[in-house]
Structure 1
Amino acid sequence: MASFGLKVIRGTFGVAEHVAPRLTGRAAFELFCRTPREKRLSEGERRAIDRAADFMTEARHHRLKTRTGCVMVHEFRPEPGRASARTVLVIHGWRSRTEYMRTLIKAYRHEGYKVVSLDLPGHGQSQGRRLTLVSAVDAARVAGE
């Protein structure tokens, strides 16, 4: 069942789309692109971040400038004794972050890959509260260079 706040938003947009469709569309898009606040992490999300703390110290962290702000990129070297043949770029999904990709990153490192993991705009340690497809592609382009 939808929360009271969600019901109010749906009702407001339902009326507004008939009165000012373009303005309502822009407002809906802005809400859709808004990323969750760090303060609103669930207990499980906080535990996952805490569990990954030691793992994250193994990375070199780079703050890179994009057209829409700055993103954080985490560079993990292959496991000791593994030759670094290639690099793989790991990008998480909505409401995620590098810490949640720990198992995947470890597997790539074990196979000898250097891993570059991107925190998308408004996620993880990257700046902002907004993510669009354009800003995600721009961030991936910058991280891959």
Structure 2
Amino acid sequence: MTNFALKVTRLGFSLLQSVSPRIAGKAAFRLFCMTPSAKPKGDKAKAAHAAGASKLAGAERFTLRLAGGGKAHAYRLNGGALGRRPRYLVTHGWGSSSAYMADLLETLAASGAEVIAVDFPGHGRAAGRVLHMGMAVKAIEAAERRFGAFDAAIGHSFGGAALMVAASGMLPGVRAVVPEKLTLIGSPSEMHWLFKDFGKMIGLRRKAQDVLEKEVRRVTGRRLEEFDASKAAGAIRRPVLIVHAEDDKEVSHIHARRYAAAGDTVRLYWANGFGHRRIVAARPVFDAITGFLGEGAVDKDAEIIPLFELPARRMSL
């Protein structure tokens, strides 16, 4: 938000919560879930988007219907080939799209893999202006339902956290999507801090803040504090690569360290110097990811335990 827009927003919420903290909290949640315009702003963003869109011009396009309503968009590279080949899923961050991930998509496709890239609702070519974690997880489930099981999934920022939430089987009524390997790039390990920062930014007081956070349970079936993806990283018993930059100013490096502490199946690769956004277009990052994906076969017979069925002792870091 611009400074003027933020001042107006804070004033509006100050007045609203004085009348009804409940209404203010619900309104804050709707604002929290509102996605930015899909049109790039600024010369750099426009150039990056145009370049990415050009690289995806030849990709197949699909509409994904989400369980319970809503739609996402998907691109497929190397689709329809004869014979078995690896199938990779790629998800973007908040306010981004598959177009901004095009360099990574090209790199993965060059390995011969079938590559599926999803635009979440309200992003890229997907319609709407609303997105929350529940919708993102349903979009991931819809992608697997449409294209089949994934050998690996790679997600940036919010998209990486959504992959881990999907793999944990956290959402009631939504089937877990557990790829053989996962890579999370600059991804948050939990979301409580984000809601606290948002509430502070728009000036919510305690009662309205409580309502804001309780809205998460209403729309997803899980409490906000249950969305701890770092616990899932060790619980799913699949190899996980965490790629993060210590100079990331949007998602603290603390999140990467929490993931790394989750278990022996998780490894951490520091991509220092690339921040939060340039990291998805960095050649050293591509090399780390393709190297990880190209390692030996995964034991597909290993037992998968949904996160919320684990004994309490397995839930601790």
Q: TM-score range by the shorter chain?
A: 0.7 to 0.9
- 1:3-24 CA distance string (max 9 Å, x none): 1120121122134223211100
Matched, 1:77 2:97: no
**Gap change, CA 1:26 and 1:37, over 3 Å in 2:** same
Displacement after TM superposition at 1:40 (Å): 6.0
Aligned counterpart, 1:59: 59
Moved more, 124-133 or 47-56: 47-56
- 8 Å CA contact 1:84, 1:114 repeated in 2: no
Distance 1:84 1:57 in 2: 25
1:108 counterpart residue number: 108
Native 8 Å contact 1:68 1:135 kept in 2? no
| TM-score, reference length from structure 1 | 0.87
**Higher fraction of strand:** 1
Checking the alignment, whether the CA contact within 8 Å between 1:84 and 1:113 is kept in structure 2 is no
- Residue 135 of structure 1: aligned partner: 135
CA distance in 1 between counterparts of 2:101 and 2:57 reads 15
Q: Deviations over 1:22-50 (max 9, x none)?
A: 10000000011011123463332221121
Percent pairwise identity: 33
Higher mean Cα deviation, 89-98 or 59-68?
Answer: 59-68
How much does 1:84 deviate?
5.6
Q: Where does residue 239 of structure 2 map in the other structure?
A: none
- Alpha carbons 1:91, 1:119 under 8 Å: kept: yes
Q: Which residue pairs with 1:21 in the alignment?
A: 21
| Alpha-carbon distance in structure 2 between the residues aligned to 1:105 and 1:38 | 20
Rounded Cα–Cα distance in structure 2 between residues aligned with 1:55 and 1:141: 26
SS of the residue corresponding to residue 118 of structure 1 reads strand
* Structure 1: unaligned runs, 5 residues or longer: none
TM-score (norm 2): 0.42
- Residue 31 of structure 1 aligns with which residue? 31
- Between 1:104-113 and 1:131-140, the stretch displaced more is 104-113
Worse-matched range after superposition: 121-130 or 5-14: 5-14
Q: Which stretch has the larger CA shift, 86-95 or 36-45?
A: 36-45
Within 2, Cα distance between the matches of 1:72 and 1:38? 13
Matches within 5 A, 1:113-128: 113-128=113-128
Q: Distance in 1 between matches of 2:84 and 2:110?
A: 10
Higher relative contact order (CA 8 A, sep 6+): 1
RMSD: 2.0
Distance (whole Å) between structure 2 residues aligned to residue 90 and residue 103 of structure 1:
12
Unaligned runs of 5+ in 2: 146-317
Q: Is the 8 A contact 1:59 1:76 kept in 2?
A: yes
Distance 1:40 1:107, change over 3 A: closer
Q: Is the 8 A contact 1:84 1:112 kept in 2?
A: no
Q: For 1:38, what is the secondary structure of its paired residue?
A: coil
